[in-house]
Amino acid sequence: MNLTYRPATALGLILGLALAGTGVAAAELVVGMQQEPTTLDPTADATASIDAMLTQNVFESLTIVNESGEVEPNLATGWEVSDDGLTYIFTLAEGVTFHDGSTFDAEDVVFSFDRAMAEDSVNPSKDIFKTIKDVRAIDPRTVEIELSEKDAFFLFNMGQGDSAIVAKETVDTNATDPVGTGPFRFDGWTRGDRLTLVKNPDYRDAGDVALDRVEFRFISDPAAATAAMMAEELDAFPGFPAPELLPQFEADPRFNVNIGSTEGEVILAMNNAKPPFDNPDVRRAVATAIDREEIIEGAMYGQALPIGSFYPPHGTAYVDLTDAYPHDTAKARQMFESAGIAGQTMTLRVPPFPYAMRSAEIIQSQLAEAGIDAKVENVEWGFWIDEVYKQKNYDMTIIAHTSPNDMGNFARGPDYFYGYDDPQFTALWNDIQTEADPERRNELLRKGQQYLSDQSVHAFLFQLPLLGIFAKDVEGYWASSPVLYMPLKQVSKGG
Amino acid sequence: MGYFLLRRTAGFIATLLVVSLVVFGIMNVLPGDPALTILGLDATDDALAALRTQLGLDAPVHLRYLSWIGNALQGDLGQSHSFRVPVSGLIAERLPMTISLAVAGMLLTIVIALGLGIGAAARHGGPGDWGVMFLSQLGIAIPAFWLSILLVLLFAVKLRWLPPGGFPGWSDPVAAMRALLLPTIALALVQSAVLARVTRSSALEVMRQDFVRTARASGLSRRRTLWRHVLPNALVPIITIVGMQFAALVTGTIVIENVFYLPGLGRLIFQSIANRDLPTVQALVMLFAAIVVTANFVVDLLYVVIDPRLKARA
């Protein structure tokens, strides 16, 4: 060891010894987060930042979805599927412990799933467990899961935060003191300010984990987030909120800017249960009236991909349907006239998200050119959730659907806020869900996209981008996010 | 004096009671659903129902209000719906931040405003007076959040003298004070602009009175006359404004805490309203109301201290 008397070296060494215990300087990453969580349990709270910070970092699930959206082994090192596709036998990783020191085994899996499926479960995605009939521990390292019907998304769903494996002993305190099996341990949380994780030295692949400490700082204001990055208070802002502020980072040699994709389809939703949008021709007229390029330019500063149906452009079954209803104001005007609704006033209730509020203004003017008076009402999120989502009291709204594999929304029947009830699509979705062969499933997914576009259930606008700003020496962050989490295992900082 | 205190205490309790009723009413009339906010758009009906039971949302409104009041009287402010921890704890961990900021902002406001206001009055009509009037007009016109952003760009991004935001906690007092400096200035500049104008006009009014001329004639220096005789007599309107400003500073921290991402009560109330977290909103609004009422009460007491003539009337 080459020890000089330079104080910086000595300080670095002391810090390194203190934090990592290995003699090399501790790698600490400071990450900006726009959304602040209220609790820390991904199996009981849908807040996206819980998944972004904790899922696969602190909590792990049986499988994990990689950056390309493929399912890989995780806590389960492998699995066998019976010929009828109804029984899955998972082999669990060996020597795994929870952060409190207790051993992870098959009973924890049984407990986690029984809890998620229980009558009093408050799991935010309880639906993903509805095909599970029974979960049994064969031996400490083997779990058998029996399904009541085939479920093509089962292994994918087993890799979500909602299906994280939790321990019976610590489950009640996970909301404030999360205990999982992941590469990082929860270290502390100052509400409204920061949340810290430290490397889990007992992790099964601890040697592959580059970071020793990760600190998330909660900064909701885009201008404040920009200042914090510029002042080098933060190393990374993986979900940057403001596309209009990106150019100054792109021009700055200290940063890397990444524009990737998310699972968020942004739609101009129309209330299919209510006139005039119960008429497919009116919905087609709306799709004809809008100009996606102009919306993307104005609302997202050009940083988004247009979509023509309800499926992400990075998905393996994607078909480009953006030309299904070419933008044509005169034609749209005529379509509105023949439907007898030209000149009518309709509400466009917009939730408080920049992408939605900005899109709304442009859509309003595009519809006005085609002879429809859209009254834009900017409402607050609590209001939107109640009035639009629950009471279905709206004509049009703009929203991003951020869950993966969510085409099933259109099969949720008349009670869902789309007001769309189509037995033909419901049957198609059922086929998709039960098709185990990936090729045939992709074929059906393409059919689904085509069908939703033909019916013009909503006007499909664009895919929400994942905007990330990183200090030059930060590497390994996912460029695109096919799920809600952002694994830190492979992230590194410095040389 | 005893009657005065009694009347004030009764008013205090009545105010809080009315505030609690209004908040409870508004939060219940307002569209929104805490369970749906927590569980998101993919939640199933039975999961939502289970959560509502857990949160105690299935009881009728009036019963929930009565049980809330009953518990609050025993010092129990209930559990936060969204954070799932006791509300009193949530407030306790954030109160020092907001109070530090508001008190520091108030002190800086007073220092700047008295200095500039008295100075301007002393140079009435001169370029110094004109300069202060111009600056204060500018200060009133500038929104606090915009000023905050400018301060951050200059001192944190460009010069790198101070952190752009965040609060490291009081365990490191130097870092804590550095973190509070910009937010305090942002809070104080706008408020001191208002107070400086009030100070100036109030001082000018006193300066025209006979006793000031007498003081000067009896050989007291200009400076001594201003600070010993003019200022104390000009204080009543100044204190009135300071009292109002303290309330404005406490609520003004909502904006400042967002721009400087400080973990204070302002951000908490913002988030709690969005989440329809009734117990937290209820407690916070009542706390803010209590601070405002207390500030007014302190101002009333100060009147008597400053101007003994008012004692007879009280």
Report CB contact under 8 Å: B50, A122: yes
Q: What is the span of the domain harbouring residue A453?
A: 263-465
| Same domain, residue pair A366 and A489 | no
Q: Does the beta-carbon distance from A192 to B94 stay under 8 Å?
A: yes
| Amino acid letter for position B167 | F
Q: Kindly state the tokens that stand for A74.
A: 């995780």
In a domain, A388, yes or no: yes
Nearest CA in chain B to A128: B42
Residue A213 inside a domain? The answer is yes
pLDDT band at A495 (very low <50, low <70, confident <90, very high): low
Q: How far is A111 from chain B (nearest CA, A)?
A: 18
B96-112 pLDDT tens trace? 899 889 999 999 999 99
Which chain B residues contact residue A406 at CB under 8 A?
A: 42
Same domain, A335 and A483: no
User: Residue A37: its pLDDT value, please?
Assistant: 92
pLDDT at A5: 38
pLDDT band at A3 (very low <50, low <70, confident <90, very high): very low
Alpha carbon separation from A65 to A61, A87, A123, A207, A492 (Å, rounded): 10, 21, 20, 21, 20
Number of domains in chain A: 3
The reply to whether residue A39 touches residue B149, judged by beta carbons under 8 angstroms, is no
Cα angle value A175/A181/A182 (rounded, 5°): 95
- Record the tokens describing residue A189, joined without a space: 């949380």
The answer on A361 and A451 residing in a single domain is: yes
In a domain, A5, yes or no: no
Check CB contact under 8 Å for A38 and B83: yes
pLDDT band at A16 (very low <50, low <70, confident <90, very high): very low
Share of chain A above pLDDT 90, in %: 89
A247 and A267 housed in the same domain: no
- What is d(CA A286, CA A370) in angstroms, rounded to the nearest whole number? 9
Average pLDDT, stretch A314-324? Answer: 94
Q: Which residues contact A109 (CB under 8 A, 6 or more apart)?
A: A62, A75, A90, A92, A135, A137, A143, A165
**Is B160 in contact with A401 (Cβ distance < 8 A)?**
no
Residues B40 and A124 sit within 8 Å (Cβ to Cβ): yes
Between chains, do A126 and B166 touch, taking CB under 8 Å as contact? no
pLDDT for the residue B309: 76
Chain B residues lying within 8 Å of A123, measured CB to CB: 47
Same domain for A283 and A373:
yes
- The residue with greater pLDDT, A23 or B167, is B167
Position A24 scores a pLDDT of 53
A14 pLDDT higher than 50: no
Share of chain B above pLDDT 70, in %: 98
Tell me whether residue A199 is in a domain: yes
Tell me the mean pLDDT in the region A146-166. 96
CB contact under 8 A, B166 and A193: yes
pLDDT of residue A194: 94
Task: Tell me the two tokens of residue A486.
Answer: 């952002």
Pure H helices in A20-95:
48-54
The CA distance from B186 to A233, in Å, is 20
Tell me the residue type at B23: V
Please state, rounded to an integer, the average pLDDT across all residues of chain A: 92
Tens of pLDDT, residue by residue over B154-199, are 999 999 999 999 998 888 999 999 999 999 999 999 899 999 999 9
CB B245 within 8 A of CB B195: yes
User: With 80 as the cut, is the pLDDT of residue A9 above it?
Assistant: no
- Torsional sign, CA A423, A428, A429, A435: positive
Residue B130 has pLDDT above 50, yes or no: yes
Of A133, A151, A171, the domain-final residue: A171
Q: Are residues A157 and A189 in the same domain?
A: no
| Range 210-229 of B in CB contact (< 8 A) with A | none
**Which chain B residues are closer than 8 Å to A46 by Cβ?**
38-43
**Which chain A residues are within 8 Å of B93, Cβ to Cβ?**
190-191
What 3-state class would DSSP assign to A92?
strand
Q: Across the interface, do B31 and A47 touch by the CB < 8 Å criterion? A: no
For B19-30, what is the mean pLDDT? 88
Return the amino acid letter for B79: Q
Is the pLDDT reported for residue A11 higher than 60?
no
pLDDT in tens, A376-417: 999 999 899 999 999 999 999 999 999 889 999 999 999 999
A287-309 tens-digit pLDDT: 999 999 999 999 999 999 999 99
Contact at CB, B153 and A47, closer than 8 angstroms: no
Structure tokens at B121: 């009055």
Question: For residue A442, what are the contacts with CB-CB under 8 A and spacing of at least 6?
Answer: A316, A317
**pLDDT of res. A4:** 36
Q: State yes or no: pLDDT of B302 exceeds 50.
A: yes
User: Which range is least confidently modeled, A180-189, A300-309, A316-325, B133-142?
Assistant: B133-142
For chain B, positions 144-183, list CB contacts with chain A under 8 A.
149, 152-153, 156-157, 160, 163-167, 169
Res. A185 pLDDT band, cuts 50 70 90: very high
Residue A325 sits in the same domain as residue A426: yes
Whether A385 sits inside 8 A of B36 (CB atoms) is yes
Report pLDDT for B303.
Answer: 85
Give domain status of residue A4, yes or no.
no
Q: How far apart are CA A116 and CA A161, in angstroms?
A: 12
Q: Do B50 and A176 touch (CB under 8 A)?
A: no
Q: Is the dihedral of CA A304, A306, A311, A312 positive or negative?
A: negative
The structure tokens listed for A121 are: 């479960």
Domain assignment present for residue A176? The answer is no
Whether residue A12 is predicted with pLDDT greater than 60 in this model: the reply is: no
A79-113: pLDDT as tens digits = 999 999 999 999 999 999 999 999 999 999 999 99
B230: amino acid identity, one letter: V
Q: Which of A219, A381, A389 minimises the CB distance to B165?
A: A219
What's the confidence (pLDDT) of residue A387?
93
User: Of A62 and B224, which is predicted with more confidence?
Assistant: A62
pLDDT (0 to 100) of residue B216: 87
Size of interface A-B (CB pairs under 8 A): 149
Same domain, yes or no: A19 and A72: no
Q: Which of A231, A390, A406 sits opposite B36 (nearest CB)?
A: A390
Same domain, A300 and A285: yes
The 10s digit of each residue's pLDDT in A239-285 is 998 999 999 999 999 999 999 999 999 999 999 999 999 999 999 99
Distance between CA atoms of residues A287 and B87, nearest Å: 48
Taking contacts as CB-CB distances below 8 angstroms, the residues of chain B near A224 are: 152, 164-165, 258-261
CA distance B166 to B95: 15
Beta carbons of A46 and B39 less than 8 Å apart? yes
B 102-131 residues with CB < 8 A to A: none
**Given B84, B164, B274, which is nearest A231 (Cβ)?**
B164
What is d(CA B152, CA B159) in angstroms, rounded to the nearest whole number?
A: 10
- Decide if A220 and B83 are in contact by the 8 Å CB cutoff: no
Question: Which of B29, B33, B42 best tests the A interface by mutation, with the highest count of A CBs <10 A?
Answer: B42
Which one has a higher pLDDT value, A17 or B267? B267
Q: Does residue A2 sit within a domain?
A: no
B56 in reach of chain A (CB within 8 A): no
Contact (CB<8Å) B164/A217: no
Report the chain B residue with the minimal C-alpha distance to residue A380: B274
A177 falls within a domain: no
Co-location of A163 and A134 in the same domain:
yes
Q: Are the CB atoms for A64 and A56 separated by under 8 Å?
A: yes
Task: Measure in Å the smallest separation between the Cα of A90 and chain B Cα atoms.
Answer: 27
Distance from CA of B177 to the nearest CA of A (A): 16
The domain that holds A71 is classified in CATH as: 3.90.76.10
What's at A370, amino acid-wise?
A: A
* DSSP designation for A192: T
- Asked if the Cβ–Cβ distance from A231 to B160 is below 8 Å, we say yes
| DSSP structural state of residue A414 | T
Q: Tell me what the pLDDT averaged over chain B comes to.
A: 89
Phi, psi at A160, each rounded to 5°: -105, 165
CA gap B162, B182 in Å, rounded: 8
Residues contacting A308, CB < 8 A, separation 6+: A320, A321, A322, A323, A324, A449, A453, A460
Angle at alpha carbon of residue B101, lines to B97 and B103, rounded to 5°: 120
Q: How far apart are CA A53 and CA A241, in angstroms?
A: 16
Question: Alpha-carbon distance B246 to B123, whole Å?
Answer: 28
CB-CB neighbours of A281 under 10 Å: 12
Q: What is the pLDDT of residue B311?
A: 66
What SS3 state is found at A495? coil
> Same domain, yes or no, for A223 and A347?
no
Check CB contact under 8 Å for B263 and A217.
Answer: no
CATH (domain of A304): 3.10.105.10
Non-local CB neighbours of A374 within 8 Å, separated by 6+ positions: A345, A346, A347, A348, A363, A364, A367, A368, A396
The helix/strand/coil state of A24 is coil
pLDDT band, very low/low/confident/very high, at A25 (cuts 50, 70, 90): low
Which of B82, B163, B258 faces A38 most closely, judged by CB atoms? Answer: B82
Contact A120 B41 (CB under 8 A): no
Q: For residues A468 and A246, what is the distance between their CA atoms, to the nearest angstrom?
A: 9
Alpha helix segments (H runs only) across chain B: 2-29, 34-39, 45-55, 61-73, 87-122, 127-141, 144-151, 173-207, 210-217, 222-224, 231-259, 265-274, 278-306, 309-313
Q: Please give the Cα distance from B267 to B255 (Å, whole number).
A: 8
Q: Helices A292-300 and A354-369 meet at what angle, rounded to 10?
A: 140
CATH number at residue A242: 3.40.190.10
> Are A435 and A480 part of one and the same domain?
no
Query: What is the C-alpha separation between B167 and A194, in angstroms, rounded?
Result: 10
CA dihedral for A265, A269, A272, A278, sign (positive or negative) = negative
Q: In chain A, which residues have their Cβ closer than 8 Å to the Cβ of B267?
A: 36, 192
**Of the candidates A171, A195, A223, which is a domain's last residue?**
A171
